[in-house]
Amino acid sequence: MRTRILTLASIVAWLLLSAEAALPCMRARPVSASEMVAGADLIVRATAVEYSVEPGTTITLAPGMTFSGPGLRTTGVPDSRVRFRVESILKGTFSAAELILPGYLSDRDDWNDHSPPYKFIRPNGRSGSCIANTYRQGAQFLLIMKHTGTEYTVNWYALGPVNEQLRSPDDPWVQWVREQVNASK
């Protein structure tokens, strides 16, 4: 009985000491769509095509906390990669026809429930990780990215609308972002 109590106390202590990793994302300042667009290195309209790397079956939440099984997903940066076909470039230079980003594919839409210019991330990114990481297969997205030295990423502006699903190529979000880019030239 004493061993069980010590084990339980150890688990509770570990959870409390590692609670920082479980806290929701926070920003020092509110999301600014204008600031985000100005700070981006590359903005493209792209279609989520397929996996270039399928999702794995193991997720490690913390040292010693690994879960295995089919269909596991994280709210953080996935081990799977999604291939996008670049439809148009709104800002920056990019010569490839495709772009690969960490993410998951879905058969469900995930529209932003605010009006452009968006001041907050779409619903998929509101589950504690600060980023939306799921893309509807076959749908178009406006990807607002930073260059990290070796690749482009959408994981640079916490809680920002960096990878919003579009309803059409002339979606109001695309129009607003295009106006911001053109005004800065």
Instruction: Find out whether 104 and 82 touch, Cβ atoms under 8 Å.
Output: yes
The single residue listed with the structure tokens 């590359």 is: 42
* pLDDT at residue 129, rounded to an integer: 72
Segment-wise mean pLDDT, segments of 10 residues, the chain, 185 residues:
52 41 69 97 99 74 63 64 98 97 94 95 83 94 96 94 98 98 93
Query: What is the predicted pLDDT for the residue at 80?
Result: 86
Q: Do the strands 42-53 and 81-91 form a parallel or antiparallel pair, or are they unpaired? A: antiparallel
pLDDT of residue 56: 73
Q: Which pLDDT does position 26 carry in this prediction? A: 76
| Helix, strand, coil fractions of the chain, as percent rounded to 5 | 25, 30, 45
Q: What is the pLDDT of residue 24?
A: 58
Decide: pTM greater than 0.75: yes
pLDDT attached to residue 2: 62
Q: Does domain 26-183 have CATH number 2.40.50.120?
A: yes
**Res 7: pLDDT:** 47
- pLDDT at residue number 99: 97
Measure the CA–CA gap between 78 and 71, rounded to whole angstroms. Answer: 12
Q: Which residue's structure tokens are 């490839």?
A: 96
